[in-house]
Amino acid sequence: MNSVTDSFYELCGVDTIMKRLPEGVEKRFSNPEVSEECTGDLTVKITMITLFWVTVLIGALVLYLRQVYSSFSRNGVKHLTPIPFLGNVGKILLRQDHIAHDLSNLYHSFPEERFVGRYEFTREAVVIRDIELLKKITVKDFEYFLDHSVIGIESSFGRSLFFLKGEEWKEMRSALSPAFTSSKISLMVPFMVEVGDQMICTLKKQITNSRDNYVDVDVLDLTTRYSNDVIASCAFGLKTDSQTERNNELYLMSKSITDFTFTQFLLFFLMVNVPYLLKILDWELIPKKSQIFFKRLVLDTMKERELRNILRPDMIHLLMEAKKGKLSHDDIKPNDDAVGFATAVESTVGNKERNRVWTDDDLVAQALLFLFGGFESVSTSMNFALHELAVNPDVQERLAQEIREHDAKNDGKFDFKSIQDMPYLDMVVSEVLRKWPPNAVMDRVCTKDYNMGKPNNTAKNDFILKKGTSIIIPAFAFHHDPEFYPDPEKFDPERFSKENKHKINRFAYMPFGLGPRNCIGSRFALCDLKVMVYQVLKHIELSPCEKTCIPSKLVADNINLRLQGGHWLRFRMRK
């Protein structure tokens, strides 16, 4: 036998076996005539040993998975049958269903439960179904659920408000809250109008130059470019025209950090559920090149403004004021809904004057978060707003009439007061955010053991949620629950009319989150969305085209809300 075979036999203990063979049998191994037969016997024995240990390993895995996947059952919490190792996320990972629909299926599968279980790989998570429990978790017992599930990100973005935890989050939220009041955001509306005028000018040229007096528009591309230019102006004080300058650097960099592809989503999902993989993969949520670009942009802009004493009421200015401790909490009104029904209620948690020391990474991270939310979340809402107006011509015409009346009364001017004076615009936007919530799924992590109460009315024992376990708030499912919204698939702005909106359970309406950890930028998002819709309908008539997705169906390969086949509509000049 060669040296490799000798080593293998030695590893398997063949020498020991041979020493124990009866006298005379060992000699057979040295006899060339029988060596092949003996080698075959040993191969069989080695195969049997290997099969034995493989069987033991499989048995151990089966017992382990049975133990892991029986946790909820042992505690009386209902759940769907998990797939080994994948848990209940197989359809998402295999791109068979969008995460919003996947969680809605779980939500509707157990109508009698207050909460249900979900296995993300082998990690437990609890999905909330009961409104009263949701209220306790997000408001009354908020201190138990202060943080998001995601771990820290080793980049500039990791210092953003979204990723911070505990007292550090409270401190940052307190410092930033005065920057996002209605009074501050109102000063940015003229910048939004300017960008909208620029977009309409481009659309008019395209329609005029077309043979058929209309153009079929990729609305996703249109709205992301509009959003980019609004962020450029309102955040960084830059003037860009992404509708005509298709490959300007800011747009390309913004797109690189907000294009959340399925691969990025998968890595992000693994990061949440298997955090040690983050370091193994050496993965960055934001590409290094983009981090360097935005860091230089933010810091250089601030430096220039300091040197030249430039004052412009945008986000860079507000961050500079926050750094100096010059933002006052006196401007914060907890129930400030001046920009519409969907405005997130500002909490007083952590709102006290603090002498925070700001680092460069802190400043850059908040600017990036502002960009991320404005570029992706707001443009997504714009996509669906225009889509619903196109496929619901009666709603479009009524809103266009309100716009015409406002335009005539105000000599064509649109400002912050206009947003407050247009009730049907608010009804339409509120219904868009109901049917297509920008935050379709939200999460929190339990920071200390918490008594969830009984999972249903027949359960005997309370369920104790262990520290470190995630809870999932399926906003999309709540927004499409017939108990709260009759005929939920119908686009019906009348739900939010003056006569009806008091019937809405505010804890079943969460386009910008719930409780103290809601979206700090809801006022900006609503202003931006309303300005865009106003300007488009003032000049453009929307209708479906051959590529319009009817009925609406979400793609399964993107964590963001995207329609199958894209967001295509036909644009004509309004007569």
Do 88 and 136 fall within a single domain? yes
Amino acid symbol at 138? T
Amino acid symbol at 8? F
Counting Cβ atoms within 10 Å, is residue 62 exposed (0-12), middle (13-18) or buried (19+)?
Answer: exposed
pLDDT tens digit sequence for 344-358: 988 766 566 666 788
Spatial separation of the C-alpha atoms in residues 344 and 519, rounded to whole Å: 7
| Structural domain for 131, as ranges | 84-145+440-510
Alpha helices in 187-314 (DSSP H): 189-208, 219-236, 249-258, 262-273, 277-281, 288-308
Do 524 and 476 fall within a single domain? no
Spatial separation of the C-alpha atoms in residues 453 and 372, rounded to whole Å: 37
Spatial separation of the C-alpha atoms in residues 570 and 523, rounded to whole Å: 30
Q: What average pLDDT does the segment 261-265 reach?
A: 67
CATH number, domain containing residue 107: 3.30.43.20
Among 353-357, 501-505, 532-536, 558-562, which stretch is predicted with the lowest mean pLDDT? 353-357
**One-letter-per-residue 3-state SS of 385-411:** HHHHHHHCHHHHHHHHHHHHHHHHHCC
Among 303, 368, 315, residue whose Cα is nearest residue 155: 368
Starting at the earlier edge strand, list the strands of the sheet with 470-473: 115-120, 123-128, 470-473, 442-445
pLDDT tens digit sequence for 166-221: 989 998 998 899 899 999 999 999 999 999 999 999 999 999 999 999 999 999 99
Do 363 and 454 fall within a single domain? no
Alpha helices in 128-188 (DSSP H): 131-135, 166-176, 182-186
Let me know if residue 77 belongs to a domain: no
454-to-77, 123, 133 alpha-carbon distances in Å: 9, 21, 11
Do 249 and 133 fall within a single domain? no
Domain boundary pick from 492, 510, 528: 510
Q: What average pLDDT does the segment 567-574 reach?
A: 97
Spatial separation of the C-alpha atoms in residues 69 and 48, rounded to whole Å: 31
Do 430 and 445 fall within a single domain? no
Q: How high is the pLDDT of residue 210?
A: 95
Do 302 and 398 fall within a single domain? yes
Q: What is the DSSP letter of 551?
A: S
Q: How high is the pLDDT of residue 49?
A: 87
